């Protein structure tokens, strides 16, 4: 494990072309106090692998604090936020447990995504990876579900368009489970394209190809469901199709990746067959698209991934590709 003393939290003011890194030892304190796949060891495995490969020392750690109420309330309801702050020790849905420190840690995870997004938008960093937990993409406006409490990526996307109403954001979600929370938050909005690649039919039951948005947001939701056993070819075809469609829809100011790695062939909670090489190639394709369309600006935020070795492998490869893109962007 990388200790808190081993990571210095720095401003990124002098690091153009660098890849940002969001992590806090506080994220390890979110614990359901029982066996659970979304466990602190997920981040321990990632940190250890990045340290062993020499990638961690190449990253630019970011200072960040918790998201405040105004930032969270852009996507979550006031009633839900008040309930969450009083939920310590409660089970909020069949697989989502709120530990003693979870509400504060969820705010900190969202704050990390915000800090990375702002640093990348200001040009202080080329791109960033946020090793945060709890994850967020299943959380809709009004409740917790699917291991998720606050929707980190949605909070970051809403911050971009709040700062500049003319800005447009692409969210690419490649977690094996459809990001129902993120989709619902932006389903009627044309300023954020939500695009998902996921196993289907599968938890949480949403994400059919015909779900394309509603009202002003019609056409701005893109779902690419994959059948059981789909591997790298199908996954990369879906990435290509999404980037082609998104490029026709908007000129994004920034790309957010809901970076779940549970589509990996070795993950115990799903049935896709994506390899570490597949995630590497997907990252490179998104980086190339970002370089063409938004100056390379990407913020990747951890979602799922539950085989510790596979998760560490895939995140390490993903971060290496982000670093390569950042160096090429100098």
Catalytic residue positions, numbered: 138
**Token duo for residue 139:** 């959380």
**Distance between CA atoms of 149 and 311, rounded to whole angstroms?**
21
Q: Which two tokens stand for residue 22?
A: 């969001």
Q: How many CA atoms lie within 13 A of 33 on its CB side?
A: 10
Please state, in angstroms and rounded to a whole number, the distance separating the CA atoms of residues 17 and 126. Answer: 5
What are the backbone angles phi and psi of residue 221, rounded to the nearest 5°? -115, 130
**Closest Cα partner for 195 from 253, 149, 240?**
240
Asked if 197 and 179 count as a contact pair (C-beta separation under 8 A), the reply is: no
Measured from the Cβ of residue 251, the count of other Cβ atoms closer than 10 Å reads 11
Q: Which of 136, 11, 51 is nearest to 315 (CA)?
A: 51
**The CA-based dihedral angle spanning residues 80, 81, 85, 86, taken in that order and rounded to the nearest 10 degrees:** -20
Measured distance CA(76)–CA(139) in Å, rounded = 9
User: Among 139, 104, 89, which residue's Cα sits nearest to residue 29?
Assistant: 104
Q: Are 113 and 153 in contact (CB under 8 A)?
A: yes
Task: Kindly list the distances between the CA atom of residue 244 and the CA atoms of 186, 195, 285, 294, in Å, as whole numbers in the listed order.
Answer: 20, 11, 11, 14
Beta bridge partners of 192: 169
């Amino acid at each position: 494990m990388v200790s808190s003393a081993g990571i210095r939290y720095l401003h990124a003011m002098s690091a153009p072309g660098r890849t940002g890194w969001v992590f806090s030892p506080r994220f390890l304190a979110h614990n359901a106090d029982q066996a659970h796949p979304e466990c602190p060891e997920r981040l321990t495995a990632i940190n250890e692998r990045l340290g062993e490969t020499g990638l961690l020392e190449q990253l630019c750690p970011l200072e960040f604090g918790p998201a405040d109420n105004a930032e969270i309330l852009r996507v979550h309801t006031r009633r839900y936020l008040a309930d969450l702050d009083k939920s310590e020790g409660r089970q909020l849905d069949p697989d989502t447990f709120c530990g003693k420190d979870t509400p504060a840690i969820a705010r900190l995870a969202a704050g990390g995504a915000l800090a990375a997004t702002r640093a990348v938008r200001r040009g202080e960093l080329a791109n960033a990876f946020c090793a945060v937990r709890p994850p967020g993409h299943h959380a809709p406006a009004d409740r917790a579900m699917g291991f998720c409490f606050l929707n980190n990526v949605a909070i970051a996307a809403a911050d971009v368009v709040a700062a500049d109403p003319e800005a447009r954001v692409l969210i690419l979600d490649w977690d094996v489970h459809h990001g129902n929370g993120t989709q619902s938050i932006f389903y009627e909005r044309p300023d954020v394209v939500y695009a998902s690649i996921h196993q289907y039919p599968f938890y949480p039951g949403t994400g059919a190809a015909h779900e394309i948005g509603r009202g002003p947001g019609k056409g701005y939701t893109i779902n690419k469901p994959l059948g059981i056993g789909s591997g790298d070819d199908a996954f990369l075809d879906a990435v290509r199709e999404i980037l082609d469609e998104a490029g026709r829809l908007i000129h994004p100011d920034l790309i957010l990746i809901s970076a779940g790695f549970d589509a990996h062939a070795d993950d115990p909670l799903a049935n896709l067959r994506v390899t570490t090489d597949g995630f590497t190639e997907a990252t490179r394709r998104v980086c190339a698209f970002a370089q063409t369309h938004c100056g390379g600006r990407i913020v990747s935020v951890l979602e799922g991934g539950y085989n510790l070795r596979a998760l560490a492998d895939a995140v390490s490869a993903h971060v290496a590709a982000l670093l390569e893109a950042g160096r090429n962007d100098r």
